[in-house]
């Protein structure tokens, strides 16, 4: 879906799924359940990531200077972080 400067794409393979969101800075809103989600901030290769973990899902959010990006899924934390690190913008 493309809605007013944002893109959301959902990938599914059986029981596993990934949601990718890209939002123009300034048009970004996110709501996280802070009662059933653990929050940590990590830095990898100079990039800061916000990591939210629940019993069923992992969400990783980062700001690349131009966009706010996030990847969520019912995958393990390391896989979600690897997906975030491998996400590159096309010019």
**pLDDT at 2 exceeding the cut of 50:** no
Helices (H), 1-91: 77-86
The phi and psi torsions of 48 (rounded to 5 degrees) equal -90, 135
Model confidence pTM above 0.85: no
List the domain boundaries for the chain: 6-86
pLDDT higher at 89 or 7? 7
- 8-61: pLDDT as tens digits: 899 999 899 999 998 888 766 666 677 778 889 999 889 999 999 999 999 999
Other CB atoms within 10 Å distance of the CB of residue 31: 5
């Amino acid at each position: 879906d493309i809605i007013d400067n944002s893109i959301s794409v959902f990938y599914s393979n059986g029981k596993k799924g990934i949601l990718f969101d890209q939002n123009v800075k300034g048009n970004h809103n996110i709501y996280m359940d802070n009662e059933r989600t653990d929050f940590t901030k990590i830095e990898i290769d100079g990039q800061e990531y916000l990591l939210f973990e629940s019993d069923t899902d992992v969400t990783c959010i980062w700001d690349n200077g131009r966009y706010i990006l996030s990847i969520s899924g019912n995958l393990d934390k390391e896989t979600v972080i690897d997906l975030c690190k491998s996400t590159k913008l096309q010019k």
